[in-house]
Structure 1
Amino acid sequence: MIGRISRMVGRRFIDIAGNLTDPMYQGVYNGSEKHPPDLDAVLERAWDQKVEKIMVTGGSLSDSRAALALAKLHERLFSTVGCHPTRCGEFEAHDGGADAYLEELSSLASENRGKVVAIGEFGLDYDRLQFCPKDIQLKYFEKQLELVKLTGLPMFLHCRNSADDLVSVLERHKDGPWKGVVHSFDGSLKDARAIIDLGLHVGVNGCSLKTKENLEVLKEIPIDRLMVETDCPWCEIRPSHVGYEHVETRFPSRKKEKWESGSAVKARNEPANVVSVPPVPVVPQVVEVLGAVKDLDLDELADRLFENAVSVFFSDAST
């Protein structure tokens, strides 16, 4: 495998999903401080490992503001603006009402073009209806589609156990091919084909590589419809995942209780966590798994994945 990946040194990578505003990067876990803030070190590790761009995801109005503020501090960070389906109750709980919440999202996106590269994270999540009922999710999924049409930005979509409804809504609203990605995909081949038929891409991370069935689905998805992500600080490729057997690279880490400056944190995903450290060749773990599953040259695969992300989210900017 080393010979197969040796040409990857110097390749470029885009992490299309990083929850970098999460308290874990400030050293806080479940409300308890375990170590000093280390986001700057996390970013440095990412840049050192050839991650060229990271999209910081917004999951609510406040999250979107924070994601944008962070993106403005770093040339290679960008943000999304939207409301996660499990948090759509915020629309009607907002002081100014749902219309005001939507308008504030719209203003963030419209007034910060170049830094805001997608509307999202929004969509449907039927696995966690205890956080927001289905009818509210559907209502504000459609409302946020208005932002997509208004801004012309791509979509950064969330879909858990809800592909039929998500596709149905998108088909009903389609005026032309949709542009965007259904991130952290773990659905069926039927789901994937329906999503691709809409003109969308499929985002893959560790949560997409858990089972044999997951890998069989990914084997059938065309390369030109795939993107890679971490969805950090979650969704690392764990030893319990079927895809882990194809991972060749490792990134050294320490438990959060034994944190040291310059060290990654065990079980806390980060953009560089899917990239090896010297002297092992630079290659994302997700790309390794995809290359093994699809029996593809990793050099070519990495190029295609980078180009896919650029074509959807950065086509108006220099790469």
Structure 2
Amino acid sequence: MKIFDSHTHLNDEAFAGKTQEYIDRAAELDVDEMAIIGSNEEFNIEAIRLAQNYQPLHAVIGWHPEFAKEYNEEQLINQIKLPEVVAIGEIGLDYHWEEDPEPAIQKEILIKQLDVAQQYNMPVSIHCRDAFDDMYQILKNHDMSKSGIIMHSFNGDVKWLNKFLDLGLQISYSGVVSFKNAPEVQESAKNTPLDRLLVETDAPYLTPVPYRGHQNEPGYTRYVVDAIAKIKGVTPDEIAKHTFNNAKRVYNLS
């Protein structure tokens, strides 16, 4: 079995100085490759550094909506030309916290990064929290079919799932899919086609059962695979195979 953690944060200070240790721990749970996700200048640089120094890692860089006011397009364009960078992300909208930049600024910076992705034919990793309506309209107006879109840690119901599937998105599930109090997410996972499905940890956040309440780590993608397999009534090997191949495809990795 080979598993691809499509969205994790080994560039977070929670893992500082222990990168190889966590890569080795992940390998013991059959997690062989990972996309290291940026969110601002500091985390983008660290994602690239890790991808340059550790073969199983790939960098995804961009400006998270929390850091929209810091967006540097020249830097983004220069960095996505590096061979270790496989996508732009995580970018998106987050209306959950009042202290985040106002929606107008978030939408402006999201659209700018989508424009760069279109220009350079790069896939994108989308962060969307409490903003499905605006996100849907923006993505509907951007034809990303040639490059690809990942909806990271999808937490919507089947209605929203189908709307985003119609736009051609890949749907990624985190440890939330294993939570007893997330029946809508589980129903969405059940209805997500195998060829559009991805798995992730979003580590160090959203730790899946059976380690919920502890710090998450990339190896725990295995438990996301197990949870989805149970929901869909198939084997973990089948989920691992499809999600691994889907991640390689959307990130343009041979």
What TM-score do you get using the length of structure 2 for normalisation? 0.93
Structure 2 residue aligned with 1:217: 188
1:50 aligns with 2:30: yes
Find runs of 4+ consecutive structure 1 residues off by over 4 angstroms.
175-178, 238-241
- In the TM superposition, what is the alpha-carbon distance from 1:240 to its structure 2 partner? 9.9
Find 1:236's aligned residue among 198, 204, 207: 207
Counterparts in 2 of 1:132 and 1:15: CA distance versus 1, 3 Å? same
Structure 2 residue aligned with 1:14: 4
Q: Secondary structure at the match of 2:250?
A: helix
1:62 aligns with 2:33: no
Identity %, equivalent residues: 30
- In the TM superposition, what is the alpha-carbon distance from 1:194 to its structure 2 partner? 1.4
Does the CA contact (< 8 Å) of 1:15 and 1:51 recur in 2?
Answer: yes
Question: What is the alpha-carbon distance in structure 2 between the residues aligned to residue 305 and residue 273 of structure 1?
Answer: 15
Question: What is the alpha-carbon distance in structure 1 between the residues aligned to residue 100 and residue 210 of structure 2?
Answer: 30
| Residue-by-residue CA offset, 1:262-288 (whole Å, 9 max, x unaligned) | xxxx711111234xxxxxxxxx11111
1:140 aligns with 2:120: no
1:158 aligns with 2:95: no
| Residue-by-residue CA offset, 1:141-176 (whole Å, 9 max, x unaligned) | 000011101221111111111112111111112274
Counterparts in 2 of 1:161 and 1:177: CA distance versus 1, 3 Å? farther
Counterparts in 2 of 1:156 and 1:176: CA distance versus 1, 3 Å? closer
Larger radius of gyration: 1
Structure 2 residue aligned with 1:253: none
Does the CA contact (< 8 Å) of 2:118 and 2:147 recur in 1?
Answer: no
Structure 1 residue aligned with 2:235: 297
1:313 aligns with 2:231: no
Structure 1 residue aligned with 2:15: 25
- In the TM superposition, what is the alpha-carbon distance from 1:129 to its structure 2 partner? 3.7
Q: Secondary structure at the match of 2:14?
A: helix
Structure 1 residue aligned with 2:225: 287
- In the TM superposition, what is the alpha-carbon distance from 1:187 to its structure 2 partner? 1.0
How many residues are matched? 252
Unaligned runs of 5+ in 2: none
Structure 2 residue aligned with 1:273: 220
Aligned pairs for 1:187-206 (under 5 A) are 187-206=156-175
Q: Secondary structure at the match of 2:206?
A: coil
Amino acid aligned to 1:310:
K
- In the TM superposition, what is the alpha-carbon distance from 1:239 to its structure 2 partner? 5.8
- In the TM superposition, what is the alpha-carbon distance from 1:177 to its structure 2 partner? 5.3
Counterparts in 2 of 1:66 and 1:163: CA distance versus 1, 3 Å? same
What TM-score do you get using the length of structure 1 for normalisation? 0.75
State the Cα RMSD in Å: 1.8
Amino acid aligned to 2:55:
E
Structure 2 residue aligned with 1:246: none
Structure 1 residue aligned with 2:69: 89
Amino acid aligned to 1:299:
D
Does the CA contact (< 8 Å) of 2:38 and 2:59 recur in 1?
Answer: yes
- In the TM superposition, what is the alpha-carbon distance from 1:130 to its structure 2 partner? 1.7
- In the TM superposition, what is the alpha-carbon distance from 1:193 to its structure 2 partner? 1.1
Counterparts in 2 of 1:199 and 1:102: CA distance versus 1, 3 Å? same
Question: What is the alpha-carbon distance in structure 2 between the residues aligned to residue 48 and residue 23 of structure 1?
Answer: 23
Question: What is the alpha-carbon distance in structure 1 between the residues aligned to residue 86 and residue 37 of structure 2?
Answer: 10
- In the TM superposition, what is the alpha-carbon distance from 1:192 to its structure 2 partner? 1.1
Find 1:38's aligned residue among 3, 18, 28: 18
